């Protein structure tokens, strides 16, 4: 197991929250596969003529339905690639990128897919590559990259004509939100996805991710009708990966209910079906659940067999969560079998994957042993002292007393630290809440006008001292009163929050974003010249115009008018910057709305003074 010893603690914690359903992400990029579609037989594929287009179509359609056929077709296409057109080569790159991602070679997959984004490929292929990269970003915990890919796809989604591709992008977004534990957002996007006419295959995945979110929210019961309905759908659509992923979660619920027999009865009859998926991440995850079930039944041999099988299968895929589960069972089995040497070895592997998941008392006990003693003989002596301290002879009394005193001291220290930590956390949360309430707009969560004025003055002062640019964007939602009047204030509040969400998604960390009142907002951009500010305003305008209002329960259009100025045009007074940006914004409104206008100062240059007043 020496290859795992090199894994740094940072790498371990980086991947610790990763789950199986997230790793099934790549399955969402397939085209619609209806329940009535028949799986092509491998022999049929091998006798296909040299019609490259047909072979590409069959490979694309068989990625989910027949992994073996897909690999064979990919091999044949690679052999014929010398005769491909540029478009065919780019599509082959996409299929290869998908294949690398499916088998866990994420670096190769990312390289292939990014090459498509920087090529002259058609926009639909780039869109597909982009939402596959969303999935890879979730797997590798590259959250900033994933959000950027989501934003890029949102900008071009209206240009995509294939509804199936749009559905795949929504599925990728759902998986990304699940990966960052935003389960409520995932459920919202699943509801949006289900408004589409999904094939049974994709509807199975939608139900699978729905159950995944509910499971992690603690809102799923072992005998929930939603589980049985989803399983029926997945079985009917022949989606073996979706159905077995659902069974895995139901089995985990059985284990939580101390019903390991039901868990085994649920999983073991489908062992061959799981193997036929050729999906190592799913196979290893289910083997781990089976191992845990056998451990609960005190069947140590089978527990060890399945945990070892999962561990070996996971060896080349660096699945941190699955590795943790495998080594935890192996450690527990060795401990049950009174094999301290093997238990220590497995525990070291398990501790590297996830020390935080171990029982607190046992974690401290083993941490003490690992820190203070280098040999197995010393560990055995300490365990013997702990187990036999009531049977020690008089000569060992002093050693017993010292050990008990150390343990008592550690317990008291831990108790005091816990009390202080809880109290400190409470005070911090209260302070944080008060601070947020005093600084933020209650509805949208961005700065309110009072705090914006304070932050903006400091930013202007800094930019003047550092001789850096600073720009101001003001914008106002068009016809917002009509939205409130025609659709209600709840719908209006939704529109305000969605506006903030899409603008923040394309912003920077040092932007100063505030709601000045009603539907009027302001963006102060330090170290940003007027050209970049104009581009940012235009990006925000497009993002607002692209908001889909159906999720609010009604259908309406949403646009905004923008005004932009900077220090060179308006000077260093905040009031002047806001007044000039506001003036440009109203010119945008009065000349047609839904546009960005730059403030144009009069011919006479504005005098720049050193006043920092926000009221004069």
DSSP-derived pairing of the beta strands 512-517 and 560-566: unpaired
Matching residue, tokens 């498509």: 116
How distant, in Å, are the alpha carbons of 275, 284, 285, 354 from that of 314? Answer: 14, 6, 9, 16
**Is the pLDDT at 35 greater than 70, yes or no?**
no
| Residue 253: Cβ within 10 Å count | 19
pLDDT for the residue numbered 397: 80
Helix (H/G/I), strand (E/B), else coil: 562: strand
Assigned token pair, 266 = 């649920």
What gap in Å lies between CA 147 and CA 367, rounded to an integer? 38
User: Of 581, 586, 450, 436, which Cα lies nearest the Cα of 514?
Assistant: 450
Average pLDDT over residues 274-291: 89
pLDDT for the residue numbered 576: 95
pLDDT for the residue numbered 10: 35
pLDDT for the residue numbered 546: 94
CB-count exposure of residue 6 (10 Å: 0-12, 13-18, 19+): exposed
User: Of 137, 104, 25, which Cα lies nearest the Cα of 278?
Assistant: 104
477-520 pLDDT per residue, tens? 999 999 999 999 999 999 999 999 999 999 888 899 999 988 99
CB 74 within 8 A of CB 99: yes
DSSP state of 440: B
Q: In the structure, what pLDDT confidence band is assigned to residue 169 with cuts at 50, 70 and 90?
A: confident
What gap in Å lies between CA 416 and CA 17, rounded to an integer? 29
CB 119 within 8 A of CB 157: no
pLDDT for the residue numbered 430: 62
What gap in Å lies between CA 336 and CA 277, rounded to an integer? 34
Q: In the structure, what pLDDT confidence band is assigned to residue 569 with cuts at 50, 70 and 90?
A: very high
**Is the pLDDT at 49 greater than 80, yes or no?**
no
365-424 pLDDT per residue, tens? 343 334 344 544 555 555 666 677 767 777 778 888 888 888 888 999 999 898 888 988
Average pLDDT over residues 455-461: 94
What is the number of helices (H) and of strands (E) in the chain?
A: 30, 5
What gap in Å lies between CA 426 and CA 20, rounded to an integer? 34
Mean pLDDT of the chain: 81
């Amino acid at each position: 197991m020496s290859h795992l010893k090199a894994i740094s603690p940072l790498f371990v914690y980086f991947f610790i929250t990763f789950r199986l359903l997230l790793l099934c992400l790549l399955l969402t990029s397939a085209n619609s596969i209806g329940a009535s579609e028949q799986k092509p037989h491998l022999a049929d594929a091998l006798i296909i003529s040299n019609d490259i287009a047909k072979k590409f179509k069959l490979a694309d359609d068989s990625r989910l339905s027949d992994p073996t056929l897909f690999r064979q077709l990919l091999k044949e296409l690679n052999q014929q690639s010398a005769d491909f057109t540029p478009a065919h080569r780019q599509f082959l790159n996409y299929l290869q990128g998908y294949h690398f991602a499916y088998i866990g070679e994420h670096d190769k997959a990312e390289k292939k897919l990014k090459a498509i984004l920087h090529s002259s490929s058609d926009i639909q292929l780039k869109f597909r590559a982009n939402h596959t990269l969303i999935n890879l970003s979730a797997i590798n915990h590259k959250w900033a990259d994933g959000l950027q890919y989501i934003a890029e796809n949102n900008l071009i989604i209206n240009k995509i004509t294939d509804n199936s591709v749009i559905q795949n992008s929504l599925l990728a977004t759902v998986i990304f939100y699940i990966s960052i534990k935003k389960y409520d957002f995932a459920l919202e996007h699943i509801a949006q996805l289900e408004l589409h006419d999904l094939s049974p295959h994709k509807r199975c995945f939608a139900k699978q991710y729905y159950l995944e979110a509910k499971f992690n929210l603690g809102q799923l019961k072992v005998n929930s009708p939603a589980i049985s309905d989803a399983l029926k759908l997945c079985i009917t659509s022949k989606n073996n990966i979706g159905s077995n992923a659902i069974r895995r979660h139901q089995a985990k619920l059985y284990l939580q209910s101390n019903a390991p027999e039901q868990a085994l009865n649920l999983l073991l009859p489908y062992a061959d079906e799981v193997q036929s998926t050729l999906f190592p991440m799913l196979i290893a995850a289910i083997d781990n659940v089976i191992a845990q079930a056998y451990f609960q039944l005190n069947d140590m041999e089978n527990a060890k067999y399945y945990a070892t099988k999962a561990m070996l299968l996971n060896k080349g895929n660096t699945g941190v969560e699955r590795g943790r589960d495998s080594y935890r069972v192996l450690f527990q089995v060795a401990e049950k079998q009174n094999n301290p040497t093997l238990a220590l070895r497995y525990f070291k592997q398990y501790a590297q994957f996830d020390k935080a998941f171990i029982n607190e008392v046992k974690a401290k006990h083993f941490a003490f042993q690992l820190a203070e003693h280098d040999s197995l003989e010393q560990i055995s002596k300490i365990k013997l002292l702990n187990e036999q301290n009531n049977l020690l002879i008089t000569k060992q009394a002093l050693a017993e007393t010292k050990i008990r005193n150390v343990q008592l001291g550690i317990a008291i220290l831990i108790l005091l630290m816990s009390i202080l930590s809880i109290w400190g956390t409470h005070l911090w949360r209260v302070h944080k809440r008060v601070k947020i309430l005093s600084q933020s707009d209650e509805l949208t969560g961005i700065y309110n006008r009072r705090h914006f004025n304070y932050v903006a003055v400091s930013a202007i002062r800094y930019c003047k001292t550092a001789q850096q640019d600073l720009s101001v964007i003001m914008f106002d939602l068009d016809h917002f009163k009509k939205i409130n009047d025609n659709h209600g204030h709840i719908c209006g509040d939704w529109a305000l929050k969605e506006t903030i969400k899409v603008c923040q998604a394309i912003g920077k960390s040092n932007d100063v974003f505030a709601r000045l009142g009603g539907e009027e907002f302001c963006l102060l951009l330090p170290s940003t010249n007027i050209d970049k500010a104009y581009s940012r305003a235009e990006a925000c305008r497009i993002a607002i115009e692209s908001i889909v209002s159906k999720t609010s329960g009604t259908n309406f259009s949403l646009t905004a008018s923008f005004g932009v100025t900077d220090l060179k045009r308006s000077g260093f007074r905040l009031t002047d910057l806001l007044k000039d940006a506001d003036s440009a914004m109203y010119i945008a409104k009065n000349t047609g709305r839904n546009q960005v206008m730059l403030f144009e100062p009069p011919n006479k240059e504005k005098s720049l003074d050193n006043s920092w007043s926000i009221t004069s």
